[in-house]
Amino acid sequence: MSERHAAISRVLVRVLLLNLTVAAAKLVLGYATGAVSIISDGFHSLTDSGSNVMGLIGLRAARKPPDADHPYGHRKFETLSAAAIFVFLLFVVIEVVRASFDRLATGITPNIAPFSFAVMIATLAINIAVVRYETRRGRALTSELLLADATHTRSDVLTSCAVIVSLAGVGLGYPLLDPIGGLVISVFIAHTGLQIARDTSRILADRAVMDEDAIRRVVMSVPGVLGSHHIRTRGSPDHTFLDLHVWMRGDASLDEAHRISHVVKDRLMRTYPQIADAIIHIEPPPAAPEP
């Protein structure tokens, strides 16, 4: 687990440096040209950096071992950090919408030059590389934090494309496309925030993580097991807690039932390495209904 946390931290630090570079380039360009779409995109990229910092803080808390107050460990702090990204996005949406409506009211035309397109295309290329890298590492490390952050950065790719289109429109003599581009960006950001909120809320609300039938098939493959029910899972895809009831013969000795339950647990955790712990309740099969 410590090696996994160290690997995730390295990814976040690398992505943080790239996000800061992209955000600085967009904000400098945006304020130099007066383009609200570029400024909005710059603030969007800046929240990527903020979410990286939040992720590093949450990851540091999540790596702590279980203690008396947190017997299940601190793993959900990583999930809470992913949820914090949604809060960042909410503030960004408010700021982007406000700036866009202000520009619609004033009607100021930004100063667009060929250099503006060069900077936006370069930052777009960096964002695409970051999304691919972070998604690949997130899947390899089964980290919802990295996957949520990659989803956030993916929205930057879409918003940068919208900015380039709006800049082209301004260059062709349609200055209203600049604030309209800002509003389009706010839609992309809001959609990304809802996706992240949905995924993290499932974990925090203890939604079922694993397929019940798949678990039952593994349990039933153990000799001496007559059936199982009340199969429940919770946690994250890479750190799952499982509890279930296993049926055994009513006349089985305590030693035999204990041995079989350990075989069931070992087989489950070997088949599904993401299971952090499994609690097995032993009971006789339900009595057949009287005719």
Q: What one-character DSSP code corresponds to residue 253?
A: -
Spans of all domains in the chain: 2-204, 212-283
Class in CATH terms, 212-283: alpha beta
pLDDT in tens, 16-31: 999 899 989 988 988 8
Angle at 153 between CA 162 and CA 198, to 5 degrees: 105
Angstrom distances, CA of residue 123 to CA of 24, 116, 127, 133: 10, 11, 6, 15
Residue 80 has pLDDT above 80, yes or no: no
Please state, in angstroms and rounded to a whole number, the distance separating the CA atoms of residues 56 and 147: 14
Strands of 162-238, DSSP E: 227-236
Considering the segment(s) 2-204 as one domain, its CATH architecture is Up-down Bundle (1.20)
Split at pLDDT 50, 70, 90, the class of 132 is very high
pTM for this one? 0.62
Q: What is the mean pLDDT of residues 47-75?
A: 74
The residue length of the chain stands at 291
pLDDT in tens, 233-282: 988 776 789 999 999 988 889 899 999 999 999 999 999 888 888 999 99
Residue 172 has pLDDT above 50, yes or no: yes
Burial 133-169 (b: 16+ CB within 10 A, else e): bbbebbeebebbbbbbbbbbbbbbbbbbebbbebbeb
Amino acid identity of 174? Y
